[in-house]
Chains A and B, each alone.
Chain A
Amino acid sequence: MRAVGQPTALLDARARVDGSLPFILNLTLPGMLYARVLRSLYPHARITRIDTSIAARAPGVVAVTTGRELAEDGSINHLYGIGHPDQPIMAVDKVRYVGEGVAIVAAETIEQAEAALDLIDVDYESLPSVDNEFDAIAPGAPILHDGADRNIIRHFKLRHGDVQAAFAASDYVIEETYSSPAAQQVTMEPHVSVAQFDGSQLTVHTASQSPYGVRRVLTEIFNLEPEQVRVIVGPLGGGYGAKGHVRLEPLVAAIARKTNGRPVKLVATRAEEFVIVTKHAATMRIKTGIMRDGTLTAREVTSWWNTGAYADAGYMLTKGGLLRSIGPYRIPAVSADAYQIYTNRPPAAAFRGAMAAQGEWTFESHMDSLAHAIGMDPLELRRRNLLREGDAWATGEVMHDVHYRDCLDEVQRLLGDEPPIERAAGHVRRGRGAAVMMKNSQSPSRSEARVALRDNGRATVFTSSVEMGQGAHTAMAQIAADQLGLPVDSVDVVGPDTAQTPFDQVTSGSRTTYMMGNAVRRAAEAVADEIRQLGARRYQVQPDATTLADGQLYASNGQCLPYSDLLQWAGLPKIEMLREFQTESKLDENSQGVACSHWHQGAGACEVEVDIETGKLTVTRFAGASWAGKVVNSAHARAQDQGNIIYGLGQTLFEEMVFDGGQVMNASLADYPIPSLLDVPYVLKTSSLQSEKPDAEMYGIGEMTLPCVAPAVANALYDAVGIRIRTLPLTPERILRALREKDGLSVDQVEEGTG
């Protein structure tokens, strides 16, 4: 029986239920110190004086350092960032957001480190600050980064066809503006890193989705060779993009330089989590030309991304955001602009379904508005315009393996017509809505894997892909097992540890099953070829006259031998192969060319109940579909499809980081609710669609059913009560207010919500 496609339990399932899973959070090393970070209380201020002398003498304190000290240390490069290195390890001359690190203390106990923070004296001179993306680009706005003349980091654009001419020739041109707020990823395990210097050798144990990304940044900051930095990553207690790039690692490594070789552990508190990384708040203006028969003629989208005080990963993410703001439709003329904008907020970066969630919210809500404007069924409008095999998209690239319509058909089938929708029942009204999902995969992209078959008959996959509950390691074991002719439980997975597992770009963006999966498949295939060569020698047959199954080599002449015996016969302790897989892309300055080799595809449809007296919206039924090509692990594919929907319901219905004067007002799970069992729709159905081709590719499905949640629910809300809300989340206050406005009542007759 082939392992791929089975509902295989996670390799370490037992440790997951008996509490022994080795999270980095649990790590204690001999002589380990504990660090705490002093963080800015101002959104924008000059640091005029900082005095750590009293803190340095406090009980238990071993080391203190400040951003200024690191900036003045000629042996390190204290600025980092992906594509745009603008972020200091800690603030130097000025702070740019509430929560930015100013100083760090390492002490014998965490309580002593915490107490020492109070003894650090910092004088600030407050500066005018900007909170939202429009204030930041208004004339006269305070500039965050000295030397820059504006707060726009980068403007990405796409130009395809003559949009203005197409608008002029359209029956209707409809423009809307949508916005969505900052949100927090809320990994249950907080960010945690442990760093230790042994001479010039740096070892970092960290909860990160990007072991090689962390290593690269640390080598750059501390002027070390790659071999001098070892990054070890354990199982993650959730990632969702929050751990996709360096976070605590530079900080904890910086203080570990001063502890005489003693390791230092830094764990973020829940409140700190809210200022370490967020989802991008974004505003998008979308304008579409349409003919009476529903043909789309042109689209223009401008998106403003609130990236916070530092570029972080937002630089490359905004480029993705540009492509994710357009939609999976045949539109002859498209123009899009995306601006990455500094504000005095914590840095924004990847958030499950990165940048696609904000884009989908806009263009899939807008599709329903277009349908209503011309009096067409919204699903019919989509079907008429969705990309088909061989169509050219807005980048000019020809689209292959196109399944948007299949995904939409599937969710409509899953949602079902039984029982038929009861539209009105007193104060409870019902409606249905749907949305389609499109996201470019990360490209260019590269993964390496090493596979070893040992003379005890077991195999090991060495991978730097991170296991964060999505089942990556188990999927890799399944893929290797099939190539090697071994049962899954004969395959171990090791990593990530940059000292022994080869390069992987990052574990994010639903890339692992495809990228690392193909690297593992190739490495295991190469090992299998070697086994066949040995078998051919052993039994004097041609290599292609051998078969591998159940841990044995079968020769066409009827003889067979376990791998362990075969390797021992050959005198080989192991057969080990390293292989890589990479993808390319090329877009010009107008984003014309090829964006990626594979486009993520999905859809969602739902039924909601709206209480018109309270504004309360309940999602009663939700159906989601993702295009998988080939499902590797059916149990965990389902878990991803369902988990995405539940995660997405949070940002749809209630999740929002509330800022006041740059300060996060709800940095606690008491004030920032995330979905619980009470938020799970009673009917929740999902499906990962597969190709019928035997050689179908295995694609990741880690995000596909998430970005469609918000627009599907908003479209169902419109279907139920005829109101179009263009700001997330869809709170009872917003719904009630919109209902009153629709009825011609003054908004003052609605009590203002508090948050």
Chain B
Amino acid sequence: MTYTLHVNGDLYQLDVPPQRSLLQALRDDLRLMGTREACGVGMCGSCTVLVDGKAVSGCLTLVPQVIGKQIITVEGLAKEGKLHPVQQAFLDHHAFQCSFCTPGFIMATIALLTEKPQPSEDEIREYLAGNLCRCGSYPEILLAVRWLIENRPSDSWESIPPEEQPSVETNR
């Protein structure tokens, strides 16, 4: 089957079977390696991406489910070499060790603060409990999120890039 995926502002044509997961499509077909598999069953959040602004597990989502939707991965966050404020906050607060889970946490944090700009401590913990960090960088992640809540950047927070005429690329 041929599907057109809208990823990070670009359109990609994929010739894949309908059971292809979004995670596989991103990693194996589009070579976007920031989205990662650690559990494969939607428990760890390492494959979290934004689909129309909502945090979604790439391993539990099939390619046909996201046709016509805008997908943002960690590779789509930095603009003209400048990190997204959430990426910068994670960096500034040392909010990672091995960093395998970090892109997933960053995507989930963007979704959290987009949905709820002023979450309480418990709301942060509840929301991000779907992302696992085995190194245990949780305290620094909390610091980064709290800093973002206090210092919400004034420039565009939008995670969805502005509409443009994307060029179509294919994987075959």
A10-27 contacts to B (CB < 8 Å): 10, 13-14, 16-21, 23, 25-26
Stretch at the interface among B35-43, B63-71, B154-162: B35-43
Return the 10 tightest CB-CB contacts between A and B, nearest first: A19-B34, A469-B98, A469-B97, A643-B136, A237-B100, A646-B136, A16-B99, A19-B74, A669-B39, A188-B100
Q: Which residues of B contact A471 (CB under 8 A)?
A: 97
Given A14-B91, A18-B83, A676-B129: A189 and B138 within 8 A (CB)? no
Q: Which residues of A contact B133 (CB under 8 A)?
A: 188
Q: SS class of chain B's interface: helix, strand, loop or mixed? A: loop
Stretch at the interface among B50-58, B101-109, B163-171: B101-109
Residues B125 and A17 in contact, CB atoms below 8 Å apart? no
Given A18-B74, A269-B40: A9 and B136 within 8 A (CB)? no
Residues A646 and B138 in contact, CB atoms below 8 Å apart? yes
Given A188-B38, A669-B38: A238 and B91 within 8 A (CB)? no
Question: Smallest distance from the beta carbon of A158 to chain B beta carbons, Å?
Answer: 33
Report how many A-B pairs have Cβ atoms within 8 Å: 156
Bound-state CA distance A334–B125 (Å) is: 47
Q: Give a binary string over A635-651; 1 marks a CB under 8 Å from any B CB, 0 the rest.
A: 11001001111110000
Residues B43 and A636 in contact, CB atoms below 8 Å apart? no
Q: Which residues of A contact B62 (CB under 8 A)?
A: none
Q: Which residues of A contact B101 (CB under 8 A)?
A: 188
Q: Which residues of B contact A669 (CB under 8 A)?
A: 38-39, 41, 43-44, 132
Q: Give a binary string over A207-236; 1 marks a CB under 8 Å from any B CB, 0 the rest.
A: 000000000000000000000000000011
Bound-state CA distance A469–B34 (Å) is: 16
Residues A237 and B136 in contact, CB atoms below 8 Å apart? no
Q: Give a binary string over B63-105; 1 marks a CB under 8 Å from any A CB, 0 the rest.
A: 0000000000111011000010001101100101111111100
Bound-state CA distance A639–B127 (Å) is: 22
Residues A677 and B142 in contact, CB atoms below 8 Å apart? yes
Q: Which residues of A contact B134 (CB under 8 A)?
A: 186-188, 238, 240, 647, 674
Q: Which residues of B contact A543 (CB under 8 A)?
A: none
Residues B139 and A19 in contact, CB atoms below 8 Å apart? no
Question: Smallest distance from the beta carbon of B1 to chain A beta carbons, Å?
Answer: 16
Residue of A nearest to B127 (CB): A677
Question: Which residue of A9, A644, A645 is within 8 Å of B91 (Cβ)?
Answer: A9
Q: Which residues of A contact B36 (CB under 8 A)?
A: 25, 188-189, 237
Residue of B nearest to A186 (CB): B134
Interface range on chain B (Cβ under 8 Å from partner): 35 or more
Residues B137 and A190 in contact, CB atoms below 8 Å apart? no
B1-52 contacts to A (CB < 8 Å): 32-36, 38-41, 43-44, 46
B113-145 contacts to A (CB < 8 Å): 124-126, 128-142
Residues A7 and B136 in contact, CB atoms below 8 Å apart? no
Residues B142 and A639 in contact, CB atoms below 8 Å apart? no
Q: Which residues of B contact A81 (CB under 8 A)?
A: none
Residues A17 and B106 in contact, CB atoms below 8 Å apart? yes
Which among B41, B46, B138 has the highest number of chain A CB atoms within 10 Å? B138
Question: Which residue of A7, A19, A269, A468 is within 8 Å of B98 (Cβ)?
Answer: A468
Question: Smallest distance from the beta carbon of B17 to chain A beta carbons, Å?
Answer: 10
Q: Which residues of B contact A269 (CB under 8 A)?
A: 40
Q: Which residues of B contact A674 (CB under 8 A)?
A: 132, 134
Q: Is A601 an interface residue (CB 8 A)?
A: no
Residue of A nearest to B133 (CB): A188
Q: Is A670 an interface residue (CB 8 A)?
A: yes
Q: Is A153 an interface residue (CB 8 A)?
A: no
Q: Is A270 an interface residue (CB 8 A)?
A: yes
Question: Smallest distance from the beta carbon of A641 to chain B beta carbons, Å?
Answer: 10
Residues B94 and A639 in contact, CB atoms below 8 Å apart? yes
Can you give 21 contacting A-B residue pairs, CB < 8 Å?
A13-B91, A14-B91, A17-B88, A17-B96, A17-B106, A19-B33, A19-B103, A25-B36, A188-B36, A188-B46, A188-B101, A188-B133, A190-B38, A238-B98, A239-B98, A270-B40, A642-B140, A676-B132, A677-B138, A677-B142, A680-B139
Residues A670 and B41 in contact, CB atoms below 8 Å apart? yes
Q: Which residues of B contact A645 (CB under 8 A)?
A: 136
Residue of A nearest to B35 (CB): A19
Question: Smallest distance from the beta carbon of A38 to chain B beta carbons, Å?
Answer: 20
Question: Smallest distance from the beta carbon of A208 to chain B beta carbons, Å?
Answer: 14
Residues B102 and A670 in contact, CB atoms below 8 Å apart? no
Bound-state CA distance A23–B103 (Å) is: 13
Q: Which residues of A contact B34 (CB under 8 A)?
A: 18-20
Question: Smallest distance from the beta carbon of A680 to chain B beta carbons, Å?
Answer: 5
Which among B40, B44, B97, B124 has the highest number of chain A CB atoms within 10 Å? B97
Given A18-B34, A668-B39, A680-B139: A635 and B132 within 8 A (CB)? no
Bound-state CA distance A384–B36 (Å) is: 51
Q: Which residues of B contact A680 (CB under 8 A)?
A: 125, 138-139, 142
Q: Which residues of A contact B46 (CB under 8 A)?
A: 188
Question: Which residue of A189, A470, A635, A670 is within 8 Å of B94 (Cβ)?
Answer: A635
Residues B40 and A677 in contact, CB atoms below 8 Å apart? no
Q: Is A675 an interface residue (CB 8 A)?
A: yes
Question: Smallest distance from the beta carbon of A622 to chain B beta carbons, Å?
Answer: 11
Question: Smallest distance from the beta carbon of B67 to chain A beta carbons, Å?
Answer: 23
Q: Is A684 an interface residue (CB 8 A)?
A: yes
Residues A678 and B126 in contact, CB atoms below 8 Å apart? yes
Bound-state CA distance A576–B34 (Å) is: 36
Residue of A nearest to B128 (CB): A677
Bound-state CA distance A355–B7 (Å) is: 47
Q: Which residues of B contact A684 (CB under 8 A)?
A: 139
Residues B125 and A639 in contact, CB atoms below 8 Å apart? no
Residue of B nearest to A238 (CB): B98
Bound-state CA distance A589–B42 (Å) is: 51
Residues A18 and B77 in contact, CB atoms below 8 Å apart? yes
Question: Smallest distance from the beta carbon of A34 to chain B beta carbons, Å?
Answer: 11
Given A18-B78, A188-B134: A9 and B41 within 8 A (CB)? no
Q: Give a binary string over A261-280; 1 marks a CB under 8 Å from any B CB, 0 the rest.
A: 00000000110000000000
Question: Which residue of A14, A190, A644, A678 is within 8 Å of B83 (Cβ)?
Answer: A14
Given A635-B94, A668-B39, A680-B125: A469 and B136 within 8 A (CB)? no
Residues A237 and B98 in contact, CB atoms below 8 Å apart? yes
Residues A238 and B100 in contact, CB atoms below 8 Å apart? yes
Q: Which residues of A contact B124 (CB under 8 A)?
A: 677
Residues A17 and B102 in contact, CB atoms below 8 Å apart? yes
Which among A23, A238, A470, A677 has the highest number of chain B CB atoms within 10 Å? A677
Q: Which residues of B contact A188 (CB under 8 A)?
A: 36, 38, 44, 46, 98, 100-101, 132-134
Question: Which residue of B38, B102, B131 is within 8 Å of A270 (Cβ)?
Answer: B38
Question: Smallest distance from the beta carbon of B124 to chain A beta carbons, Å?
Answer: 8
Which among B91, B94, B106 has the highest number of chain A CB atoms within 10 Å? B94
Q: Which residues of A contact B137 (CB under 8 A)?
A: 639, 642-643
Residues B96 and A670 in contact, CB atoms below 8 Å apart? no
Residue of B nearest to A187 (CB): B134
Bound-state CA distance A668–B88 (Å) is: 33
Bound-state CA distance A239–B134 (Å) is: 10
Residue of B nearest to A267 (CB): B37
